[in-house]
Structure 1
């Protein structure tokens, strides 16, 4: 009799784990159509999760977006039409790859700007170190004599007197 509540609890807990693993099942006519669907849902970001695409998210809004992608595909919409419809509904944030336009040009150009800036910093450091080396080699005759006396162990003041 004591085993019944434990068994009931175990079955109850197991039902939640099984329920969480259920994935969407859509019917596709061809393998290419299924691959197109998978590519589309992998390229769209979940507005709620923000760090997941709608293929990986379990949120209700992602489910709605997956259903919408499937429905539009079945109605013959192109990839651009599907993405445009979801962007108009949820905003540009849902795109992992936003289009290049005047609002996003800095986003697209930043990696190149950072690489060029880093290159210029390295060039500047190298040029300064070469200048310092060249300046260090042009010692005056007096500085050379002081250096020789120091290396020979004489103090500066014993040489003057």
Structure 2
């Protein structure tokens, strides 16, 4: 029984072996600092709200490896970011640049709100209210033509 307990304990402790720990050998402290900065700044395409440093998704692991590889080749931080943007799109950066597409994403909702307010205000001005609504709905008897007067008279006399 004691051997089984020891075996189960060893099995339980060995599960932590599968945790991802990057043991990387950097050429300089500056390169290590760049690596950590980049992995904090690049977003995981699968996790969406995690950076690649915090994500255990396979794509984040691959991206961390590529960042390390590019830094080992002597690429700058800007080069690494450009590579990732070229490969995965602007989504991988937390601060995408201002492009015509992103500009539309900011302007269109504002334009819809402004045009909606304009439409409501214009419609409100066009609709008569109060006594003017009643007056416009009923014709003044003095302004009726002969056929309308005869019809009105017949209605009032109860003949229609």
Query: Which range, TM-score by smaller chain?
Result: 0.5 to 0.7
TM-score of the two chains, using structure 1 as the length reference:
0.60
Q: Which residue of 2 aligns with 1:93?
A: 91
How far is 1:91 from its partner?
A: 2.3
Cα distance change, pair 36–104 in 1 and its aligned pair in 2 (3 A):
same
| Preserved contact between residue 100 and residue 108 of structure 1 (Cα < 8 Å) | no
Which structure 2 residues correspond to residues 89-128 of structure 1 after superposition, within 5 A? Answer: 89-105=87-103
Deviations 1:33-92 (A, max 9, x none): 211111111110111111210011112211110111111111122222211211222222
* Cα distance in 2 for residues equivalent to 1:14 and 1:108: 51
- Aligned residue-pair number: 110
Q: Which residue of 1 aligns with 2:75?
A: 77
SS in 2 for 1:58: coil
Question: Alpha carbon RMSD of aligned pairs, Å?
Answer: 2.3
| Preserved contact between residue 72 and residue 82 of structure 1 (Cα < 8 Å) | yes
* Cα distance in 1 for residues equivalent to 2:105 and 2:21: 34
Q: Which runs of 4+ in 1 moved over 2 A?
A: 105-109
SS in 1 for 2:3: helix
| Preserved contact between residue 45 and residue 54 of structure 1 (Cα < 8 Å) | yes
Q: Which runs of 5+ in 1 are unaligned?
A: 114-161
Q: Which runs of 5+ in 2 are unaligned?
A: 111-160
Q: Which residue of 1 aligns with 2:59?
A: 61
* Cα distance in 1 for residues equivalent to 2:43 and 2:105: 17
TM-score of the two chains, using structure 2 as the length reference:
0.60
Give the number of the structure whose alpha-carbon radius of gyration is greater.
2
